[in-house]
Structure formats: structure tokens, C-alpha cells
Amino acid sequence: MNKYFLTTPIYYVNDKPHIGHAYTTIIADVVARYYRQKFGFDNVFYLTGTDEHGAKIAASAVKAGKTPQEFCDDVSDIFKSKWQELNLSYNHFVRTTDKQHEAVVQEVLTRLKSAKTPLGNEVIYQGEHEGLYCVGCEAYVKPEDLVNGKCPFHNKEPELIKEKNWYFRLSDYAEILKEKITNKEPRVLPEQRETEVLSFIEHGLEDIAISREKVEWGIPIPFDPKQTTYVWIDALVNYISALQYPNGDDFKKYWPANVQFLAKDILKFHCLIWPALLLALDLPLPNTLFVHGFFTLNGQKMSKTLGNVIDPSDMVAEFGVDATRYLIISQFPFGDDGDVKQNDFVTKFNADLANGIGNLVSRVIGMTEKYCDLTVPEKQFTAELNLSEFWQNIDRNYQDFKINENIKAVWDLISWCDGYIDSNKPWALAKEGKQTEVEQILFNLLEIIRNISLAIEPFLPTTAQKISEALNCDLNFVKKEEVIKPKTKLNKVEPLFLRK
């Protein structure tokens, strides 16, 4: 079926959005925009949102002098505002304090209560647990997970907690999870993450708490109102609650997800617990779980203490929306750990955007005005360049989420055009009176630029629209194979990007 459903993790509202949050969400937007080109706008569902329950949120609200709901409303609105500023085209922004989401969580828990595991045991049961709990992670941790007695992600000592909770019998799903993941059902990408998940299974899966006894800010357990739903179970359900599980039209159309994006610190929750929950609910698993790495900023971990957290709004103010999207996602291959070099932003902006695509479009439109009265010549495409192969590679890369390879492919095309201009020298041919040759060169360049505008639309949507307006043609993705129409009157174009 030509549909596409993709998700980002939902972001915890104890922190304001920074470029770490933006990175995953922009990547998802790029993929969503590409598949809208492929399948049509009404066949793609892009989901993001905010995670709003748990002890950490309640504590942050008290510190801010607000009720938990007021605190969540304020921070969630900030996320929405930032995502709109970055021109993110999500279809739904889910909040775990939405009444509809809370109802689905309770429906899921009720179904789990009566379900059986593959080994014939009850899926959930009551038990008592004593263990180390990291409030920052909102998760129990083992002593061997700690570094010098502290959580490696939050640099804080966990609390010793003893509670009577409801448990999900994850241990009974070890073999089926191993079988599914080994058979790429789902694909866990990049491959080293699959290896990591299988290693967790080999070392043994322990049952997990799905409720909290001493946390009031959460969704009540429907069959035990004195307990609230463990925040991670609550959060994971968002991926189906947003589609109005179990009977909503969107759920019937879009589930299972084509891809779910996440960072590697939440790998266990998404690649083990989430598939097990879906199996317990007798639901199909996502096609792909893509786990991207961490990035540092100028060689250092981003930290509010160090004061090196970048607000995407500051980048938008300096570089503009499209350039900010580009600078964030083009730093290193998607999936890898990497370092964002803030001092290189201006250099990359000038090289790739102002001097790269911006200069190419200005040059070609300018020469078309000078030599062809701003009109597409009456020619056919003759450049020794296989644009069909270009698009096949683009599609293949999107299937494997090789976003940076597609960015490179576009900039290779831009470089090819620059070389084509410099080697053919249309200005020199014009002086010699070789108008036919000049027109052929410009037609070829205009057709390649039309293809470039289609290829950059997922990550530079406004720039793509400006180029299509200059070429006086629609961003018609369905008809990529068509060629720019001769005799089309072009429009003058303002510089796409001004050098910094």
C-alpha cells in the first residue's frame, strides 16, 4: 500500500527544545516530504509531540511555581512554536496529557491485563521491586550501568526505591523478539544497533514495572487507581493513540509504522519493550526502527551548565529557516555519532548555499535573460547526465535513510553544472555568434536545475519553491521524468542566499 507513517520520539517537557531535538525532527520532516512527493500528501502521516507525565515533570513544575498541567502547556507550546518556525510539516502533535491519549493508554492496559504471553503466562502481574531509579531517565538502572555510582547520561546518583507495582512479563518475549529482529521484522538500523539489541536479549530480559505507586502525575491504572502508569509505557503508546487505536480510520490506514526514529539512549525502550507490548496486543511491528547517534557541539557534550545549548531560533535569526534546516542535518551521516562545529556554520552556509546552489541558479537565470530573453530555448535535453539514475539513487537512499548521501548527490549535481558552464563557456560562444549552442547549453542547465529543485524540496522547501517560481513551473513530483517546457517565460530571481 502506498502509505507512509513515520514518528519521532516525543520530547520530554522538562527541557526547552534545542538543536538535539531539532535534528531528529527535521530528519523526519525530510523523509515525510519525500514520501509526500512519492505517494501524495494524503498518504503520509508524520507524528511528533511531547511527553508530559512523571516525577521529573512534577518536580520541574513545582520549581517553576506552576501546576504540572500549566507547566506542560507552556513547554509544549514552545516546542510547537519552534517546530513551526523550522517549517516542520507534521500531521499531528500528540501530547500525553491529551484526554484521547489517556483513554487509549487505559484501553491498552486493560487489554494487557487479560492477555497471555507466548509461554502462556499472564502478560502483567503484581510484584514488589526494590532498585536504583534514575529520575532523569525515569527508569530503573543497574549498578553496572553506572559510572562512578552515577547515571552516565545525567551525572547524578540514582535513588533507591521500593514499590509494589504492576509488571510486564518482558522475559517471556525474549525468544520471539530475537527471532523477529534477526529476521528484520522490524529492521533495526544502523546494523550495529541491531547487534546491540540482540546482545541485550542474549544477556537476559527482565520483567519491567508498568506502574508507579508514589508518582501522582500520571495516568491512573484502570484496574488499580492507586497506581499511575509508568511514564515510558504511557509515552510509547502515543504512536498508536495518535492514530486513534483501536478503531480509528488512521490506525487502520497507517499502522504499522514505516519508520520510527529515536536516539540511542532510548534504544531499549523502543527496540525491546515497544515491540513486546505490540506483540502482547497482537499488533504488527514497525517496519523499521532507526537509531541515530549522539552529537557533541564543538567537541563538548551539550549542557545547560556549560551554556553551549543552541536554540534553533537563534540559528533561524542568523541564517534563515531553510539554511538552519540544512546546517543542522548536513553535519555528518545520519545514524552516526558526530560533532557539530558551530564555528563552521558560516563557512558551510557560504560554500554550499550562497556560492553553491544560490550562485548556480543566479548564473543560469542571468545568462538565460542575457542570451535568450529570459525564455526557455526550444531544445531537447542532451547533457551527458543520467537523471533517471540520479532519481533511482535518491529513492534507494531514502529507503535506507541515507539522508546525507542524497544531500551529497544534489551538491555533486550542482558541481557538475558549474563544471559544465566553465568548460562550455556560453559567454564566449555568444560572442562568436553561436546562438544555437548557447541555447542548448542553457536548456540543459535549466532542466537540471528543475530536477535540483525537486530533489532539495524535502530539506530546503522554501528554496525549492523559489526556484520553481523562477522557472515558472510547478514542483510536480509525480512527473519527474517530464522536461522543462520550451518557450516558457522565466522570472528574475532574487539571490537565494546572501553571503555572510
Q: pLDDT digits over 378-437, tens only? A: 999 999 999 999 999 999 999 999 999 999 999 999 999 999 999 999 999 999 999 999
**18 a catalytic residue:** yes
Please state, for a pLDDT cut of 90, what percent of the chain lies above it: 81
**304 a catalytic residue:** yes
Out of 72, 101, 151, 466, pick the active-site residue: 151
Using the predicted structure, report yes or no on whether residue 152 has a pLDDT greater than 80.
no
**154 a catalytic residue:** yes
Residue 428 to residues 62, 284, 432: CA-CA distances in angstroms? 72, 63, 6
Structure confidence by residue, pLDDT tens digits, 360-387 = 999 999 999 999 999 999 999 999 999 9
Out of 56, 72, 82, 137, pick the active-site residue: 137
- Segment 240-259 mean pLDDT: 98
Lowest mean pLDDT among 39-48, 192-201, 293-302: 293-302
pLDDT of residue 334: 86
CA nearest to 140, candidates 160, 167, 165: 160
**21 a catalytic residue:** yes
**301 a catalytic residue:** yes
Lowest mean pLDDT among 65-74, 315-324, 332-341, 406-415: 332-341
Cell of 360: 548556480
Assess contact for 404 and 332: CB atoms under 8 A: yes
Assess contact for 359 and 389: CB atoms under 8 A: no
Q: CA-to-CA distance for 73 and 346, rounded, in angstroms?
A: 35
Confidence tier at 304 by pLDDT (50, 70, 90): low
CA nearest to 231, candidates 105, 108, 46: 105
Assess contact for 372 and 439: CB atoms under 8 A: yes
Cell of 354: 550562497
Using the predicted structure, report yes or no on whether residue 481 has a pLDDT greater than 80.
no
pLDDT of residue 154: 67
pLDDT of residue 232: 94
Confidence tier at 161 by pLDDT (50, 70, 90): confident
Out of 63, 142, 252, 304, pick the active-site residue: 304
Using the predicted structure, report yes or no on whether residue 63 has a pLDDT greater than 80.
yes
Superfamily of domain 342-471: Isoleucyl-tRNA Synthetase; Domain 1 (1.10.730.10)
**271 a catalytic residue:** no
Residue 339 to residues 11, 333, 365: CA-CA distances in angstroms? 22, 11, 37
Tell me whether domains 4-297 and 342-471 share a fold. no
Q: CA-to-CA distance for 359 and 338, rounded, in angstroms?
A: 29
Out of 18, 164, 178, 370, pick the active-site residue: 18
Q: Name which CATH class applies to 4-297.
A: alpha beta
**137 a catalytic residue:** yes
Confidence tier at 35 by pLDDT (50, 70, 90): very high
Overall size of the chain counted in residues: 500
pLDDT of residue 431: 97
Using the predicted structure, report yes or no on whether residue 140 has a pLDDT greater than 80.
no
pLDDT of residue 145: 78
Out of 116, 142, 154, 252, pick the active-site residue: 154
Out of 142, 162, 301, 492, pick the active-site residue: 301
Q: CA-to-CA distance for 288 and 295, rounded, in angstroms?
A: 22
Name the average pLDDT for the chain: 93
pLDDT of residue 142: 79
Annotated domain spans of the chain: 4-297, 342-471
CA nearest to 19, candidates 388, 411, 313, 378: 313
Cell 490506514 identifies what position? 253
**473 a catalytic residue:** no
pTM as predicted? 0.93
